[in-house]
Amino acid sequence: DTEVTQTPKHLVMGMTNKKSLKCEQHMGHRAMYWYKQKAKKPPELMFVYSYEKLSINESVPSRFSPECPNSSLLNLHLHALQPEDSALYLCASSQEEESPLHFGNGTRLTVT
């Protein structure tokens, strides 16, 4: 079990669907992250929120829309995705600068 909870664990969606991935942490961490991971590849940074404000967007396509409703929650809204967006989406949090990230176990997304 991890201290970062991601739901759902698996998601299958069509290219015209709208869905959301959810992430929750109750460790009081100030920063939350979305990473995308393809098979046999390292996690790729997508977004970072610091104190509920978007601090980093790694030129992610607008069909991915992050949201941080409060300090414990992070969402990733998905719309009009492509099959190549199929991947493991990982959420992480960290307490302070230069501290380890705590990861959830990810949402396995398949776009059909």
Partner 1 sequence: GESVGLHLPTLSVQEGDNSIINCAYSNSASDYFIWYKQESGKGPQFIIDIRSNMDKRQGQRVTVLLNKTVKHLSLQIAATQPGDSAVYFCAENLQTSYDKVIFGPGTSLSVIP
Give me the residues that bind partner 1 (CB under 8 A), please. 2, 4, 31, 33, 40-45, 48, 50, 55-56, 90, 92, 94, 97-98, 100-106
CA distances from 60 to 34, 45, 76 (A): 11, 9, 12
Nearer to partner 1, 83 or 97 (CB): 97
Nearer to partner 1, 62 or 84 (CB): 84
How far apart (Å, rounded) are the C-alpha atoms in residues 41 and 12? 21
Angle at CA 92, nearest 5°, toward 34 and 60?
10
Pairing state between β 31-37 and 18-25: unpaired
CB of 66 to partner 1, least distance (A): 14
CB of 100 to partner 1, least distance (A): 4
Nearer to partner 1, 16 or 100 (CB): 100
